[in-house]
Amino acid sequence: MRTVIIDDEENARQTISKMLLQNSGDVKIVGEAGDVKTGIEVLQKTRPDVLLLDIDLPDGTGFDLLEQLKDYDFQLIFITAYQEYAIQAFKFSALDYLLKPFDPEDVQAAFSRARDLKEKDEIQLKLNAFLSNIENISREVKKIVLRTSESLHLVNVQDIIHCRADGNYTHFFITPDKKLIVSKTLKEYDQMLTPYGFFRTHQSHLVNLNFMDHFSKEREHIFLKDGSSVPVAYRKKEQLLKILDSM
């Protein structure tokens, strides 16, 4: 895992290098840089397997570097001190990131994910999703990157009707008449989507309440505008009624 670190803080580069070299026998640091200009030169010279890239650099941003580089073939892990909305945007966009100050377990986990990816990710699609989410941070419109066994899909969150758990997989039902199967648990998407009008009606179901037609108290099911229905667990019923009363 030939690795380049681009961060304007020398202490940050030293810290993350130490964490990697102490705990990952297959990692080799082949280059470092503290700005966009030097970073491009280092990347063109070393052609690494993994790039750790800070967002804020003295002469631009990490995004500026990638735009100038044009063609690249490495796994990308962003470094950021941002929290809250930016971290949320990273998650929706399926981009990997490390938050300052660094946590050794997070560093190892990020490299483990990079190591497990046998093919290079479609970085540009993920970057486009991230930039769109950052630009629309004050609005409800979000884009989420969903990976199936065949490819990556960029989906508007507002077009997701509901999600259904299937072991370690999640089935996404998307308007109009689109279905995707993603190899992540429903729990991960519950945490991401609940702030955007989604409700976990059942252990196996997450529903976009904007697509709800009606709720049958007698049958304890939500009926959706696409003609489908999902069960509402008994312990979720009261919470759902409170949400519907407030809408």
The domain locations on the chain are 2-134, 142-246
Would you list the DSSP string of 124-183? HHHHHHHHHHHHTTTSS--EEEEE-SS-EEEEEGGGEEEEEEETTEEEEEETTTEEEEES
- Mean per-residue pLDDT, 76-80: 89
Supply the pLDDT for residue 99: 87
Is a pLDDT exceeding 60 seen at residue 118? no
The string of pLDDT tens digits covering residues 210-222 is 999 999 988 999 9
Q: Model's pTM, two decimal places?
A: 0.67
135 vs 16, residue with greater confidence: 16
Supply the pLDDT for residue 89: 76
- Mean per-residue pLDDT, 112-121: 68
Can you read off the two tokens belonging to residue 95? 């981009």
The string of pLDDT tens digits covering residues 50-70 is 999 998 899 988 888 988 886
Question: CATH number for the 2-134 domain, one of 3.20.20.300, 3.40.640.10, 3.30.930.10, 3.40.50.2300?
Answer: 3.40.50.2300
At residue 130 the predicted structure's pLDDT band, cuts being 50, 70 and 90, is confident
Q: Which of 26-35, 104-113, 156-165 has the lowest mean pLDDT?
A: 104-113
At the second CATH level, the architecture of 142-246 is: Beta Barrel (2.40)
Taking each helix axis as running N to C, give the angle between helix 10-23 and helix 104-116, from 0 to 180 degrees, rounded to the nearest 10. 70
Q: What Å distances lie between residue 130 and 109, 116, 123, 145, 238, CA to CA?
A: 21, 22, 11, 9, 36
